[in-house]
Amino acid sequence: MSEPGSGCKIAGVGVNVPSRVLTNFDLEKMVDTSDEWIVTRTGIRERRIADADETTHGLAIPAAQEALRSAGIEARDLDLIICATATQQRYFPSTACMIGHGLGAGDAPGFDISAACSGFIYGSSIIQQYFRGGMAKNALLVASEIYSRIVNWQDRATCVLFGDAAAAVVFSASDSSEGLIATRIRSNGEYGSFLTGGAITRSGDPVAGALPTMGDGYFIEMKGNQTFKIAVKSMCDVATRILEENGMTVADVDMVIPHQANIRIISAVGKSLGLPEDKVYSNIHRYGNTSAATIPLALYEAVQEGRVKKGDVVLMVAFGGGLTWGASLMRW
């Protein structure tokens, strides 16, 4: 375990995306849409789709293995495993427990969190508290999503948005200037109806023998205009607040990695914060909205591309169904 009050840094990152690519031109054959319509409104050109036999934890394990290799540690060195997902295969065992078993992590505690697209930020906040309390030396945070299974593929407004992916991050104890500086998470159920999905079952009286059926609200439903407004406002507010609380301004930030919801939201957040385009990272054109996985997937690619370098201040900010939102500030 780490010393009480210890900080933590990202020691390794890994990703895994399905091999199947679904392009906008493929979608043109499925619903009344076009590549031009999708790109103009969302910035998305293609997305990855899991095969029928792929599972949320199965998608996550290779990402976690890469993150562990990058960090130079073994699965048995983990003191905590968290999986951020809205598309777990079952209520229990948790996806985190199945990931831990697949990795050979022994009896490291594991649990899932449900904060929709804000899941990675929420998980980072929990992990930071574990390190501050001296309860972990190494922790694994995995975001794994198969949204293609809760998308209505006849609804052109939503089916064009989402993709499947997994990304994982290993946090390790650190007392250097590098690492996680602060996190801030918020929620407000008043806006819960703006973005819903994944209702699993509906039944009559189960004691009388009624069998569960697919529930109303199983597929993703979104109030687009309302979601856009609250998404931009909430992300800008929490970004400004976390910078102020840590004696920084936007000028101190080298890269912002926002949740990859759609290009209009990403651009609006950057513009509202007064950031040049080259300081707001986006890879939504390749993957679409992969929910909790968007930020760690984008972080991985930003580092690979040299857009995020050692010593850079990185601001990650997200919103999701709930509504949930939050920000994470770190020095890479």
Catalytic residues: 117, 259, 289
Torsion sign, CA atoms 290, 261, 219, 230? positive
Residues 239/249, Cβ–Cβ less than 8 Å: no
d(CA 48, CA 70): 24
d(CA 115, CA 75): 25
Convert 204-218 into a string of H (helix), E (strand) and C (coil): CCHHHCCCCECCCCC
* Residue 33 per-residue DSSP state: -
d(CA 240, CA 303): 24
d(CA 232, CA 259): 11
What strand order describes the sheet that includes 179-187? 179-187, 324-331, 313-320, 255-258
Taking the alpha carbons at both ends of the chain, their separation in whole angstroms is: 23
Q: Which helix (H) or strand (E) holds 129?
A: helix 119-132
d(CA 28, CA 76): 47
d(CA 308, CA 310): 7
Q: SS3 of 154, please?
A: coil
Residues ≥6 apart with Cβ < 8 Å to 237? none
- Tokens 């906008």 locate to 24
